[in-house]
Amino acid sequence: MRLVILGSGRGSNAEAILVAQRAGQLGRAEVVQLFSDQPAAGILALGLSFGVPATFLDPAPFKTKLDGEGEQRYIAAIQACQPDLVVLAGFMRVIKPAFLAAFAGKIINLHPSLLPSFPGLDGIGQAWRRGVKVAGCTVHYVTAEVDGGPIIDQAVVRIESTDTPESFAQKVHAAEHALLPAVIARLSHATVTNAANA
């Protein structure tokens, strides 16, 4: 299963995927390309470390969504990679219908809350401010509804009385780094099995 990863930041979740791949824990999945909408994003440095092509792809003309010419650039570049799965790992742009149609059923996202609770920006901060005792992270398929696609799997994190916002965030990130590679490995086995049975 060929993976393309999109990210906007330091790339810790992309790194977790690449570390799992190097350790033989990513099932039948292989990362073939990293893309970022930020030219100085940390995720791009992972390419050299792990021997995977990593490219800045201009998202212009919009700042918070993938639309117009930028969207077409992304669609063309990703299609050229022939992906079986597109992984949004901290990709901070709203995905629009043309992109969704180009990769229908092949886009997954990692969100730092137990969806459907706390969708949108700062899921960790939302959960902390609300005072919940159980939080976590979710991997889901991407649809037109922001953080509203079908849930694939979740990991639970308990908020203890001794936690701080920082320690709670660290717990969620640790859960993310375990959950996302595990989900990808599972999906890779399902993809290969379905192809064999087709």
Tell me the domain boundaries of the chain. Answer: 2-197
Average pLDDT over residues 113-119: 96
Q: Which of 111, 140, 177, 189 is catalytic?
A: 111
This prediction's pTM:
0.92
Within 10 angstroms of residue 29's Cβ, the number of other Cβ atoms is: 25
Q: Quick one: which H or E segment has residue 152?
A: strand 151-158
Which tokens hold the place of 120? 């949108």
The whole-angstrom distance between residue 27's C-alpha and the CA centroid of its chain comes to 17
Read off the pLDDT of residues 38-83 as tens digits, 9 standing for 90 and up: 999 999 999 999 999 999 999 988 888 899 999 999 999 999 999 9
Domain 2-197: give its CATH code.
3.40.50.170
Q: What whole-number distance in Å separates Cα of residue 33 and Cα of residue 172?
A: 26
Residue entry with tokens 């959950």: 179
Q: Strand, coil or helix: what is 58?
A: coil
Is residue 168 scored above 90 in pLDDT?
yes
pLDDT, position 193? 54
177 is catalytic: no
